[in-house]
Amino acid sequence: MGGCGPGDLEILSAARRRWHCRRRSPKMRSGIHCERLPVMPIGIGLHIAIALFFAVHAIRSGQDRYWLIILFMFPLLGSIVYAVAIWLPEQRHSPQARALHRGVRQVVDPDRELRLAMTAFEDSPTTESRMRLGDALLETGRASEAVPHYQAALRGIHADDPDIQVKLARAYLESGHAPQARELLDRLIAHKPDYRSADGHLTYARAVAAMGERDKAREEFEALVDYSSSYEPVACYVEQLADWGQHAQASGIGEAALTRAGRLPGYARKLQKPYLDRIRQTLRRLPANA
């Protein structure tokens, strides 16, 4: 990222200047006499403000210095050219823009990835395309259809793949088979004690809760909340506590999580927004005296 050199500062200062100063004549008292320039029309001032914005961007992003000349010699045309050639492409590939694009696409066409995954699997039924289809089915609420795809993927060199087993366990859980999910994850823990997966741990906690083992489920959720950087475990735990009728504890954990989230950078809060919204919705459902 380029810094501002003396020449750059002179260009920026000249564009911002609103006062013109000249030395008084010898007959006048020594000092500086300043005359205000005529007020610039609003349209022209806006052009210069936009050019200034792009000039600062050019300097900070290390663009060639000729952009500064173009921007201040031709503020309107230069700004348009700079926006099209440099600024818009950069914004389009930013993480925030990609996240927004995915969000809009999910709202406009929620089944797009599922259709693409089905087509890819039909064209080439590999383990990778099968996994993609299983993931798409799971994310669109068709967990029972995802189960056979994950089961089929656990063959050959992938027979002991822990990541596939975690996804299969989640598909079991979300299709109403919590005991199978827990059994699979217990075997995974026994065979691969060094394997770590926050998603697998969350599925395990939810499966234990679904089987009615509250103390064990509470232990797993609290361990998850302590180490996970995601707010999804908090959302699930608060929802589970509310379902158990433990409203005061649900309220305390939920409010504390929202307070912590308020101190996150803006981009981090956006990433966690779905889970934070779930926490808020659960808190709104609690009795007023919780």
Q: In tens digits, what is the pLDDT along the chain, a chain of 290 residues? A: 444 455 554 544 444 444 344 444 444 444 444 444 444 454 457 778 888 888 888 887 778 888 888 888 888 888 888 888 877 776 665 555 555 555 555 556 678 889 999 999 999 999 999 999 999 999 999 999 999 999 999 999 999 999 999 999 999 999 999 999 999 999 999 999 999 999 999 999 999 999 999 999 999 999 999 999 899 999 999 999 999 999 999 999 999 999 999 998 888 888 899 999 999 999 999 998 76
194, 168 Cβ separation under 8 angstroms: no
Q: Which tokens is 269 given?
A: 């809060």
pTM greater than 0.85 (yes/no): no
Phi, psi dihedrals of residue 36, rounded to the nearest 5°: -80, 135
d(CA 38, CA 49) in angstroms, rounded, equals 17
Any long-range contacts for 195-201 (C-beta under 8 Å, 24+ apart)? 195/162, 197/162, 197/163, 197/166, 198/224, 198/227, 198/228, 198/230, 198/233, 199/166, 199/170, 200/162, 200/165, 200/166, 200/169, 201/228
Q: Which tokens is 149 given?
A: 């795809």
| The pLDDT value given to residue 289 | 72
| The pLDDT value given to residue 63 | 80
CATH 1.25.40.10 in the chain, residues?
112-285
Beta bridge partners of 21: 34
| The pLDDT value given to residue 107 | 59
d(CA 62, CA 71) in angstroms, rounded, equals 15
Q: Which tokens is 27 given?
A: 């007959």
| The pLDDT value given to residue 25 | 44
d(CA 223, CA 237) in angstroms, rounded, equals 11
CATH 3.10.300.10 fits 112-285, yes or no: no
| The pLDDT value given to residue 95 | 52
d(CA 99, CA 102) in angstroms, rounded, equals 5
